[in-house]
Structure 1
């Protein structure tokens, strides 16, 4: 029977709607919203109070790195306060003496970077054929002649009117001045270093006092105290292992880079070794900085793109071999982290705290990973950060 032949008095049969598929979320939406708001507030506070948090984190890293030395002095019946002062004075004196000894070479190296970049730009523009000027050079020469003619005409007009001509000379670009004005300045840097030194000294001198107080305030439950002790042990072990590996790998990269550049014949090879060792502490970016800067200086010295590629490639090979072969071998399985999570974390902390964020990003993430692995509700985050 067609639809047209259907009796209009017959009641219509209601159509049954298909069953809806409901997705049960594993988390409460309201709780997740509160977590997001709390995270955003935390990020804002970290950015706003970075002048306080950065010295705290740097002093904490130095405390973990220098604690074994102070512990060794304490076993030799030397007070922790005296041992901490001796270690900090020795390190400060060594850094100051090294900087004073290499100051002249470092200054010459920094001053040569703009000249090297300009020379490389001219070589790339002319295609390494100085005798055959390109069309761009011809146009630039014509523009220079037109500008000179216009200046001569303006000088003649000014002379007839009796007006003195004023010439404004632009100051030469100085990398040292640019770097200095781009940082926090002398007084701010001195204040930050002083604060870090005092915080590190008090942390080393107090020993495990803070650790014992933290375990005590977790509550009377023995289970909570055990969890707190395990978390602190994991944090201590992971950070100490990470710092030892970084110090050893940086020293190895510095020595290998200095010797390789000395064998090639690059000037200021010792300075390059120190620069390579220091920048190795910056994940991903440090090797690129050394490769590019060393290649520029090599091009200025040897006047050859091939030598520049040789120097830059040597630096990259040294960083790659040490970073991809030696560091994973020295790092235990429990301390390794997901490379994607590490890269994202480094970008985040670098955006938040600048150069200090790049240096402190991985240790901070290791602390977060250790805490999340011991707290049941945060274990998914620990699994995400782990390798």
Structure 2
């Protein structure tokens, strides 16, 4: 018997294009609810996301948004408080020592400066088969003799100037009073001071003394000209003693040749690199100081010639002597120009008898010193010493405060030596960079 044929699988119904698509059974079952059942609330439509205004406005889309403000840069630099405190203590201690022992350090620095300046001349005499001790003695005798002869030639003019100071002061006072037609400001201030002193004395005498307290009146000692002259003489003797020490130190340093240099190289260490660095430092210091001295000599000669010519053109007597004085005082920055201008203006007033000529003479001196001594000299010094003009000016002020007039002369050479050492020491390169140009 034959088996019946299996029924063919039913083909899925073809959906009609006019009818909606059939609902799945699960969805249909969920859609049918019982009569007593609660119906779920209809789904609320989700709010549309906010539209970008840049997308809505194409013109604003082309404009870029402003960048956020940049955050400040922070420098991460660790500071060792202990080392910084020790460095500051060492600095303050060194300044106090230099001020307290100035009577020792000033002659030493002057002798080193003279030794550096005169060593090339001693080397030239050595090439001429003149021994170093003899050549050093000849140079120092010539230098001291030249200074002494210059001072002796100017002594008469200096004495006359000192003798004429009271007459000049009286003349200036009378002229100013005649021009003003009223008592001078100095007289008014003196009268006011006298009245204040009298009122203070009356108040002090009127105040009753306390019981058991004895009133003491302090009397000022009278001015003694002998004490004044004695103190001035002792100052002159002290200056001559320091000058003698400088001369002998310079002589021994020149006569010994390169002995001090060789000792410094030996102290530096046994390695060849350290010795080479020490020699470079010494050569750099010597070269900078020699160039600095050449600049000072050149500018002093220029100031002297310009001052003498200006005074001669204005008709001042002894114009050549005043030129020499101006050139010598140019070695003292800022103070030398003030002394030259004041003294020459006073002499001009004595000679011409008018304030206008005195102001013209003093003004000419100030202009020359300002252009050459205060502008040209610091610029040339900074070029020859690789130091910035600001560092030169600050060093002059600092050493002038520390050592007075000698500090004005020695401040720049000392800072040159300090910079040369700092440039070749790894831990001190920052100081050399600050002092450099």
1:196 and 1:109 map into 2 onto residues whose CA distance is 30
- Note the C-alpha offset of 1:314: 1.4
Aligned 8 A contact 1:73 1:83 in 2: yes
**For residues 61-104 of structure 1, what are the alpha-carbon distances to aligned partners after superposition, in whole Å with 9 as ceiling and x for unaligned?**
11111112111111111011100000111111111122222211
Structure 1 residues 224 and 136: CA distance shift in structure 2, 3 A: closer
Distance 1:382 1:200, change over 3 A: same
Deviates more, 1:367-376 or 1:230-239: 367-376
User: 1 CA distance for matches of 2:185 and 2:409?
Assistant: 43
1:125-274 alignment to 2 at 5 Å? 126=177, 128=179, 132-134=181-183, 181=231, 185-274=235-324
Alignment partner for residue 394 of structure 2, among 319, 340, 344? 344
Tell which deviates more after alignment, 102-111 or 263-272. Answer: 263-272
Within the candidate set 169, 175, 178, 1:123 is matched to: 175
Distance 1:250 1:179 in 2: 33
- In the alignment, structure 1 residue 59 sits paired with structure 2 residue 111: yes
- Counting helix residues as a fraction of each chain, which structure ranks higher? 1
Find out whether 1:42 has 2:94 as its counterpart.
yes
Is the alpha carbon distance of 1:74 and 1:28 closer, same or farther for their aligned partners in structure 2, counting shifts above 3 Å?
same
Give distance in 2, aligned partners of 1:212 and 1:83: 21
Quote the Cα distance in structure 2 between the aligned partners of 1:283 and 1:108.
Answer: 26
Alignment partner of 1:353 is 2:403? yes
Q: Please say if residues 299 and 372 of structure 2, whose CA atoms lie closer than 8 Å, have aligned partners that are also in contact.
A: yes
1:350/1:83 CA distance change after superposition, 3 Å: same
- CA deviation vs aligned residue, 1:233-271 (integer Å, no higher than 9, x gap): 110010000011101221222233223223322233343
Q: Which runs of 5+ in 2 are unaligned?
A: 1-72, 193-221
How many residues are matched?
Answer: 336
Contact persistence 2:378–2:392 (CA under 8 A): no
Q: How does 1:69-84 map to 2 (within 5 A)?
A: 69-84=121-136
| Aligned counterparts of 1:248 and 1:181: Cα–Cα separation in 2 | 37
Shift of 1:26: 4.0
TM-score by length of 2: 0.69
Structure 1 248/39 Cα, relative in aligned 2: closer, same or farther at 3 Å?
A: same
Of the candidates 322, 332, 336, which is equivalent to residue 286 of structure 1?
Answer: 336
For structure 1, list consecutive stretches of 5 or more residues without a partner in the other structure: 1-20, 144-168
CA-atom RMSD, angstroms? 3.2
| Stretch moving more, 296-305 or 365-374 | 296-305
Residues 170 and 271 of structure 1: is their aligned pair in 2 closer, same or farther, counting only changes over 3 Å? farther
Secondary structure, in 3 states, of the residue corresponding to 1:217? helix
- CA 1:184–1:360 in structure 2 vs 1: closer, same or farther (change >3 Å)? farther
C-alpha separation between the residues in 1 aligned to 2:370 and 2:184? 41
Q: 1: CA distance between counterparts of 2:224 and 2:378?
A: 48
Alpha carbons of 1:301 and 1:223: their partners in 2 closer, same or farther (altered >3 Å)?
same
Match of 2:151 in 1: 99
Change (3 A) 1:36 1:135: closer
Partner of 1:12: none
Separation (CA, whole Å) in 1 of partners of 2:270 and 2:252: 28
Greater relative contact order (Cα 8 A, min sep 6): structure 1 or 2?
1
Q: Deviations over 1:305-343 (max 9, x none)?
A: 221121112112222333367546755735142233222
The within-5 A match list for 1:295-306 is: 295-306=345-356
1:121 deviates by 4.3
Q: 1:327 to 1:367 in 2, by over 3 A?
A: same
